[in-house]
Chain A
Amino acid sequence: MNAPLILFYFFEAAAAIAAVALLFARSVFYGALLVIVILLALAGLYVLAFAEFVAVTQILVYAGGILVVIIFGIMLTSRLSGKPLVVEHTLPVSGGLVGLAFFGALVYAIALQTFPTSESVAKTSTTFDATQTVGIALMSDYVLPFETTGILLLMALIGAAVMASDNASKKI
Chain B
Amino acid sequence: MTPLDTLQAHSSFFVICLGGALALPLLSFLLCFYVSEKYSWATSVLAPFLMMASTVCAAVVLYQAWNHPAFTWQRVWFSIADHTFTAGIHVNNASALMLFVVTGVSFLVHVYSIGYMAGDTALRRYFAMLGFFTFSMLGIVVSDNLLLIFVFWELVGFSSYMLIGHWNESPAAAEASKRAFIINRVGDAGFLIGLMLVWTHGHTFNIEALRALPLDPAWMTAASLCIFCGVVGKSAQFPLFTWLPDAMEGPTPVSALIHAATMVTAGVFLLGRAHFLFTPAALNVVAITGAITALLGAFAALSQHDIKKVLAYSTMSQLGLMVAAMGAGAPEAALLHLFTHAFFKACLFLSAGSIIHALHQAQHQSHVNFDVQDIRLLGGLRKKLPFTFIMFVVSGSALAGLPLFSGFLSKDAILAALVHWSNTGDAWHWVVLLVVALVSFVTVLYTFRLVWTIFNGEEKSTASLVVSEPPVVMRAPMAVLALASVWIWFSWNPFSFSGWIYNHIGAAKDFHGGFVSMASAAWVLLALAVAYASRGRKLDSRLLAQGFYVDLFSRKAIEQPTLQLADLTHRADKKWIDGFLHATAYAQVIVANLTGWFDRAIVDGFVDGAAGLAKSIGSFTRSFQGGKIQLYIFWAAFAIIIFIIWTLL
A–B direct contact (CB < 8 Å): yes
Can you list, as one digit per residue, whether each of A87-107 has a CB less than 8 Å from chain B (1) or not (0)? 000111111001001100100
> Is A109 in contact with B634, judged by CB distance below 8 angstroms?
no
Determine if B607 is an interface residue (Cβ-Cβ < 8 Å).
yes
> Is A91 in contact with B631, judged by CB distance below 8 angstroms?
yes
How far is B646's CA from A101's CA once the two chains are assembled, in angstroms? Answer: 12
Besides the known contacts A93-B608, A95-B630, A102-B637, 6 further A-B residue pairs in the complex with CB atoms under 8 A apart = A91-B608, A91-B631, A92-B608, A93-B607, A105-B645, A105-B648
> A108 contacts which chain B residues (CB < 8 A)?
648
Which secondary structure dominates where chain A touches chain B? helix
> A101 contacts which chain B residues (CB < 8 A)?
641, 645
Determine if B553 is an interface residue (Cβ-Cβ < 8 Å).
no
How far is B641's CA from A101's CA once the two chains are assembled, in angstroms? Answer: 7
> Chain A's nearest CB lies how many Å from the CB of B284?
85
Task: Given A91-B608, A93-B608, verify A105-B634 contact (CB < 8 Å).
Answer: no
> Is A93 in contact with B611, judged by CB distance below 8 angstroms?
yes
Q: Which 3 A-B pairs have the closest CB atoms?
A: A94-B607, A101-B641, A98-B637
How far is B638's CA from A102's CA once the two chains are assembled, in angstroms? Answer: 9
> A91 contacts which chain B residues (CB < 8 A)?
604, 607-608, 630-631, 634
User: Of B604, B628, B637, which is in contact with the most chain A CB atoms at under 10 Å from its CB?
Assistant: B637
B611-649 interface (Cβ within 8 A of A): 611, 628, 630-631, 634, 637-638, 641, 644-645, 648
Determine if B81 is an interface residue (Cβ-Cβ < 8 Å).
no
Q: Which of A90, A92, A98, A109 contacts B641 (CB 8 A)?
A: A98
> A105 contacts which chain B residues (CB < 8 A)?
641, 644-645, 648
Question: Which residue of chain A is the closest to B619 with respect to CB atoms?
Answer: A90
Question: Which residue of chain A is the closest to B628 with respect to CB atoms?
Answer: A90
How far is B391's CA from A144's CA once the two chains are assembled, in angstroms? Answer: 124
> Is A90 in contact with B648, judged by CB distance below 8 angstroms?
no
Determine if B610 is an interface residue (Cβ-Cβ < 8 Å).
yes
Task: Given A108-B648, A109-B648, verify A95-B634 contact (CB < 8 Å).
Answer: yes
Question: Which residue of chain B is the closest to A106 with respect to CB atoms?
Answer: B644
> Chain B's nearest CB lies how many Å from the CB of A87?
12
User: Of A90, A91, A108, which is in contact with the most chain B CB atoms at under 10 Å from its CB?
Assistant: A91
How many residues of A are counted as interface, with CB atoms below 8 angstroms from the partner's CB atoms?
A: 12
How far is B649's CA from A109's CA once the two chains are assembled, in angstroms? Answer: 11
B453-502 interface (Cβ within 8 A of A): none
How far is B647's CA from A108's CA once the two chains are assembled, in angstroms? Answer: 13
How far is B604's CA from A29's CA once the two chains are assembled, in angstroms? Answer: 28
> B630 contacts which chain A residues (CB < 8 A)?
90-91, 95
> A94 contacts which chain B residues (CB < 8 A)?
607-608, 634, 638
A40-62 interface (Cβ within 8 A of B): none
Question: Which residue of chain A is the closest to B645 with respect to CB atoms?
Answer: A105
A90-142 interface (Cβ within 8 A of B): 90-95, 98, 101-102, 105, 108-109
> Chain A's nearest CB lies how many Å from the CB of B629?
11
> A98 contacts which chain B residues (CB < 8 A)?
634, 637-638, 641
> Is A102 in contact with B608, judged by CB distance below 8 angstroms?
no
> B648 contacts which chain A residues (CB < 8 A)?
105, 108-109
> B608 contacts which chain A residues (CB < 8 A)?
91-94
How far is B647's CA from A105's CA once the two chains are assembled, in angstroms? Answer: 11
How far is B634's CA from A16's CA once the two chains are assembled, in angstroms? Answer: 23
How far is B144's CA from A157's CA once the two chains are assembled, in angstroms? Answer: 102
Question: Which residue of chain B is the closest to A89 with respect to CB atoms?
Answer: B611
How far is B637's CA from A53's CA once the two chains are assembled, in angstroms? Answer: 33
How far is B648's CA from A98's CA once the two chains are assembled, in angstroms? Answer: 16
> Chain B's nearest CB lies how many Å from the CB of A90?
6
> Chain A's nearest CB lies how many Å from the CB of B360?
90
> Chain A's nearest CB lies how many Å from the CB of B260?
93
User: Of A90, A94, A102, which is in contact with the most chain B CB atoms at under 10 Å from its CB?
Assistant: A94
> Chain B's nearest CB lies how many Å from the CB of A36?
24
> A92 contacts which chain B residues (CB < 8 A)?
608, 611
Can you list, as one digit per residue, whether each of B339-356 has a CB less than 8 Å from chain A (1) or not (0)? 000000000000000000
> Chain B's nearest CB lies how many Å from the CB of A66?
21
How far is B94's CA from A103's CA once the two chains are assembled, in angstroms? Answer: 104
A4-41 interface (Cβ within 8 A of B): none
Chain A to chain B contacts (Cβ below 8 Å), 26 pairs: A90-B630, A91-B604, A91-B607, A91-B608, A91-B630, A92-B608, A92-B611, A93-B607, A93-B608, A93-B611, A94-B608, A94-B634, A94-B638, A95-B630, A95-B634, A98-B634, A98-B637, A101-B641, A101-B645, A102-B637, A102-B641, A105-B641, A105-B644, A105-B645, A108-B648, A109-B648
B435-461 interface (Cβ within 8 A of A): none
User: Of A93, A108, A109, which is in contact with the most chain B CB atoms at under 10 Å from its CB?
Assistant: A93
> A109 contacts which chain B residues (CB < 8 A)?
648
How far is B630's CA from A126's CA once the two chains are assembled, in angstroms? Answer: 44
> Chain A's nearest CB lies how many Å from the CB of B325?
93
Can you list, as one digit per residue, whether each of B209-225 has a CB less than 8 Å from chain A (1) or not (0)? 00000000000000000
Question: Which residue of chain A is the closest to B603 with respect to CB atoms?
Answer: A94
> Chain B's nearest CB lies how many Å from the CB of A165?
23
How far is B630's CA from A105's CA once the two chains are assembled, in angstroms? Answer: 22
> Chain A's nearest CB lies how many Å from the CB of B49?
95
> B641 contacts which chain A residues (CB < 8 A)?
98, 101-102, 105
How far is B608's CA from A95's CA once the two chains are assembled, in angstroms? Answer: 9
Question: Which residue of chain A is the closest to B609 with respect to CB atoms?
Answer: A93
Question: Which residue of chain A is the closest to B644 with respect to CB atoms?
Answer: A105
How far is B610's CA from A94's CA once the two chains are assembled, in angstroms? Answer: 10
> A90 contacts which chain B residues (CB < 8 A)?
628, 630
Question: Which residue of chain A is the closest to B642 with respect to CB atoms?
Answer: A101
Can you list, as one digit per residue, whether each of B570-609 has a CB less than 8 Å from chain A (1) or not (0)? 0000000000000000000000000000000000100110
> Chain B's nearest CB lies how many Å from the CB of A24?
15
How far is B628's CA from A109's CA once the two chains are assembled, in angstroms? Answer: 31
Q: Which of B610, B628, B638, B645 contacts A93 (CB 8 A)?
A: B610
> B645 contacts which chain A residues (CB < 8 A)?
101, 105
How far is B604's CA from A64's CA once the two chains are assembled, in angstroms? Answer: 38
How far is B644's CA from A99's CA once the two chains are assembled, in angstroms? Answer: 13
Question: Which residue of chain B is the closest to A112 with respect to CB atoms?
Answer: B648
> A95 contacts which chain B residues (CB < 8 A)?
630, 634
How far is B645's CA from A108's CA once the two chains are assembled, in angstroms? Answer: 11
B513-546 interface (Cβ within 8 A of A): none
How far is B641's CA from A15's CA once the two chains are assembled, in angstroms? Answer: 24
> B610 contacts which chain A residues (CB < 8 A)?
93
